Amino acid sequence: MKTLYNDVLYLLACAANGEKADKNRIEAMDLDALYTLCKEHKITALISSVLAEHIKTDPEQYAKWQQEQMKALYRDLNFAAERAKILAYLEKTGIWHMPLKGIVLKDYYPKPELREFADNDILFDENFAEQVEQYMLGEGYQRKQSDSGHVMEYEKEPCFNFEMHRSLYHSNNPAFYNYYKDVKNRLLKDDKNQYGYHFSDEDFYVFMVSHIYRHYRDNGVGIRNLLDIYIYNKALADGLNYVYIEAELDKMESAAFEKQMRQLAQTAFGSDMPAFDAQQEQVLQYYFASGAFGSLKTMMSNKMKKTIGQTDFSAKGRRKYWFKRLFDLETYKHDYPRAYKTGIAIPFLIFYRCLRGLTKAGRLKAENERLKQMEQ
């Protein structure tokens, strides 16, 4: 594995375990290459907290890395204030809600601001989607047109991005969607408010793993997510019910993935002299190649393989891909179960899907262009 990757793992382990890094090892690192990779994976603030005392003699490097910590702190403080306003609105309006993902995870890090993020996610009662939409627009947010069916995504200057979840998963991920379809039944009531909820420690971990696995499977996922697994387990290992966790993840076909990642995380960040087997090295390479939120190449490759059984971006492969997308009967069976059962309605459903596709012509054209790019 690349020396640069090993350097990142070493520094992340120091940060996660509160250990001082070896000055001689840091002096041998390529700090510019390290900075570029850390930016891709949104871990510059965390790495900076380890490097700082060792690079003070290099004013340029010190200023560059310290700036990342200041930016992370600025974002965290501003998001916290803005998030408080949104949650206060949900409380005032009587809409049940729950902060998700990084909002919760950051409190397990050495300092909350060191767990960088691109957005804040909040689950809310989907029956109030229109009211939430009007509130966000009234607060100066712009609705992103690229959001998916289960998420309303909003942006506002200078740095705000909130994903308001009507549900945790879209129906195109049936195993995850069905598991979380009645998610409120799995939640615990907050003590300090009327309409706020939270997961138990186990259920939060189950959701975290399912979220990581979805990205890992579909478009790749960055090294920070492996660190999330390590930090959460390190903080709560003595209190987590792993029998329950395995049983619940098994319902989403994710239990084997969790075991593999937990073992890899322990080896990477919890060992004095980590030694990876060939499979672990391959997984780590995949993490590093994916960036913080996956890569376009990984996403399109996985999507192509899932659809036609192989990765083939040639003209022939693309035609097969679109044919399978249009005539995939499992999609119709899932999206239109009653009509599908009649059998006779299937041709009309295909025609309807073609008509509906015209309303998404721009997105479909862009997807086809991405497929063409992968051939080059």
Indicate whether 139 pLDDT > 60. Answer: yes
Indicate whether 198 pLDDT > 80. Answer: yes
Report pLDDT for 296.
47
Among the listed residues 179, 196, 197, the one whose alpha carbon sits nearest the alpha carbon of residue 187: 197
Q: What angle do CA 74, 79, 84 make, to 5 degrees?
A: 135
Average pLDDT over residues 236-261: 96
Indicate whether 285 pLDDT > 50. Answer: yes
Tens digit of each residue's pLDDT (9 = 90 or more) over 44-89: 999 999 999 999 999 999 999 999 999 999 999 999 999 999 999 9
Among the listed residues 267, 224, 266, the one whose alpha carbon sits nearest the alpha carbon of residue 8: 224
Tens digit of each residue's pLDDT (9 = 90 or more) over 147-159: 567 899 999 998 8
Tens digit of each residue's pLDDT (9 = 90 or more) over 12-21: 999 999 999 9
Measured over the CA atoms of residue 105, residue 273, residue 284 and residue 261, the dihedral's sign is: negative
CA 330 to chain centre: 26
If you count them, how many residues does the chain have? 376
- Domain locations along the chain: 3-294, 300-375
Measured over the CA atoms of residue 276, residue 282, residue 285 and residue 287, the dihedral's sign is: negative
Tens digit of each residue's pLDDT (9 = 90 or more) over 351-364: 666 766 555 555 56
Average pLDDT over residues 208-225: 91
pTM above 0.75, yes or no: yes
